[in-house]
Amino acid sequence: MCSGRVDLEFILRAFANGVDGVFIGGCRLNECNYITHGNYNALNTVLLCRRIMECIGLNPERLRIEFMSSGEGMLFTDAVDQFCKSIKVLGPLSGDTQPDPEQLTSRLEEVRKLVPYIKIAKREKLESRLQDETQYDDLFTREEMDKLLSEAESYYIDPDKCRACMICSKRCPVDAIDGAKNRIHIIDQVKCIKCGTCYDACPPRFGAVAKVSGQPAPPPIPEEERTLVKKRA
């Protein structure tokens, strides 16, 4: 499997399941077997994830990526052996210098929900190709990630503007929008992955979907008030 298929969600899910460390092995940079250079995608994903780990109190040394060819078995063995030794020194995930296990699990779940939003917000950097290892530490900064996670955008459907056209509901990739004909739509903030699809799909003449940044979205209107009453001309 190409290392470029390693998604940020996969790594975070592994830690959420209690894995003590994650090792990713990829082809050497600029030696892609598929001409897709997915190993650069994997590298950038790891650099991004290590910054996220810092933000939520998880030691970034628990995640490592190494590049080698398929014929370098000894190099692979040595790399994995060294990584396993470093994880043993760090100890179990539950004993890391981090919040208590329940708090860490909660933070991991919150970040996992933001994965689509993070990948969209940082698309340009995730697609970059760093040639110089000295650039790795500067691709994603701690301050940048703190701001991204704290100011993550939410989406809210203004009940006064919603025309119950069902376009946003049909486009939502995770079925987070509850709506029907003549019924004002609402977004389930628990299911919402903050991808912005609803915002882009809402017809400009309605402009019912609004962005909310740095604060929770307003609560949905009561069920008994969701029936849309259309005004007659």
Asked if 33 and 121 sit in the same domain, the reply is: yes
Residues 175 and 83 in one domain: no
Instruction: Look at residue 98 in the predicted model and tell me its pLDDT.
Output: 57
Domain of 161, CATH number, reads 3.30.70.20
Average pLDDT on 171-191 reads: 93
**Three-state SS letters, the chain:** CCHHHCCHHHHHHHHHCCCCCEEEEECCCCCCCCCCCHHHHHHHHHHHHHHHHHHHCCCHHHEEEEECCCCCHHHHHHHHHHHHHHHHHHCCHHHCCCCCHHHHHHHHHHHHHCHHHHHHHCHHHHCCCCCCHHHHHHHCCHHHHHHHHHCCEEEEECCCCCCCCCHHHHHCCCCCEEEECCEEEEECCCCCCCCCHHHHHCCCCCCCEEEEECCCCCCCCCHHHCECCCCCC
**pLDDT over threshold 70, residue 65:** yes
User: Is position 14 within any domain?
Assistant: yes
Q: How far is CA 116 from the centre of its chain?
A: 5
Q: Give tens-digit pLDDT for 185-228.
A: 999 998 898 889 999 999 999 999 999 987 888 999 999 999 98
Is residue 132 very low, low, confident or very high in pLDDT (cuts 50, 70, 90)?
confident
Residue 45 located in a structural domain: yes
Domain that holds residue 7: 3-150
Asked, for residue 42, whether it belongs to a domain, the answer is: yes
Q: Is residue 231 part of a domain?
A: no
pLDDT at 123: 92
Q: Is residue 71 part of a domain?
A: yes
For position 30, what pLDDT does the model report? Answer: 87
pLDDT at 99: 62
The pLDDT assigned to 218 comes to 92
Angle at 46 between CA 45 and CA 49, to 5 degrees: 85
The verdict on residue 232 lying in a domain is no
Q: Does the residue 233 lie in any domain?
A: no
Number of independent structural domains in the chain: 2
> 120 pLDDT exceeds 80?
yes
